[in-house]
Amino acid sequence: SPSTFKGSALDADGVMREGTFVEAGPVSWFVSEDKKIAGLTNTNKELRSQIIPGTATVDEVQKLGAGESTSIMLDPTMGMASALSESDGNIFDHIKKGGKWIFPILLIGLLALTAAFLKWLQLLRIRALRPARLRRVIDAIQKGDFQLAKSKLGRKSNPASQALHRAIEMENNSSEDVEEALYEEYLRAKPRLERGLSWIAIAAATAPLLGLLGTVTGMIHTFKLINIFGTGDAKSLSSGISEALVTTEFGLVVAIPALILHAILSRKINGILSSMEMASIAYVNGLKAIKTKK
C-alpha cells in the first residue's frame, strides 16, 4: 500500500509548497497543505521534487493516501516523459536556441524567397515564341512582305517578339545593321531577365557560412561553460551546443532551397534567351535569303 510522509515540493511557478507525499514504489504524488495543488512529482535526484501540473487532482491523491480505491495517473518514467514533451516546444522556441546568428540567416532566406517569387511571376508573364509562328514570320520576310510579318508576329509578349518587331521596323537597313540591332536587344533583355537572381545566389552561398559562424560561436560559448562548470553537468552546456547545431541546421534549410530555386529560374531564363537567339538568327538568315534572290 502507498506510504505517506510530509515534505515540500516546487510548483509550476517555482514556489516551494509544504504538503504530503504519497509514494508507491518509485512513483510519488504530492498534495499541498492548502489543498490547492496536487499532482505527480518528478523524483529526479539532481533536482528538488517538482509537481507536474495537471497529472492528478487533490481528491485523487488524498484518497490514495488514505488507502481508498481511486483512479489516478501513473508515470513510470518518473517525470521524464513530461519533461521530454515540454522540451519539444514549438518552432519559435527552436529558433531562439540558435542565438543571434539565426536572425541574419532567416532574413537572408526571406529575401531569397521574395526575390524568387517575384522573378517567377515575371517569367510567368513571358509567353514563348512558338516555332510555328516564327516560321510564318520568316516565310513572310522571305516574300518581302514586312507588314504581313509584323501581323503574324503579334504582340510583344516576350523578348524575342520585341527584338523581331524592332528588326522588322528596320526593313530598309542592311542585314548587318539588323544583326547589330538584334544583338543589342539581346544584351538589353539579359540583365532585365537575370535581375534578382543574385539575391538567391547570395543566400545560397551566405546562409551556410553564417550557419558555420553560429557553430563556431556556439562551441566557443560551450568551452566557456566547460571552463566554469566542468563537464560533469551536461545541462549547463546545452545552450552553447544548441546554438552551434541550430544555426547550422537553418543555414542548410535556407541554402538548399535557394540553390534549387536558382537552378530552376536560371534554366527558365536561359531558355528564353536561347529562343531569342534562335529567332534572331532565323530572321537574319531570312533577310540574307531575300538578298540572294535579288
Dist. CA 103–CA 31, nearest whole Å: 44
Task: Confirm if 37 and 11 have CB atoms less than 8 A apart.
Answer: yes
The torsion angles phi and psi of 126, rounded to 5 degrees, stand at -90, 115
Dist. CA 179–CA 166, nearest whole Å: 11
Tell me 101's DSSP state. T
Q: Find cell 529558433 and name the residue.
A: 95
Amino acid type, 31: V
Task: Confirm if 2 and 22 have CB atoms less than 8 A apart.
Answer: yes
What pTM, to 2 d.p., does this model score?
A: 0.65
Model confidence pLDDT, tens digit, residues 95-130: 777 788 889 999 999 999 999 999 999 888 887 777
Dist. CA 273–CA 96, nearest whole Å: 44
Write out the three cell numbers for 87. 522540451
Mean pLDDT of 38-61: 73
Provide CB contacts within 8 A for 144, sequence distance 6+.
290
Dist. CA 172–CA 152, nearest whole Å: 19
Dist. CA 37–CA 56, nearest whole Å: 9
Higher pLDDT, 66 or 203: 203
Mean pLDDT of 66-71: 84
Dist. CA 104–CA 211, nearest whole Å: 10
Per-residue pLDDT for 44 more than 60?
A: no
**46 band by pLDDT with thresholds 50, 70 and 90:** very low
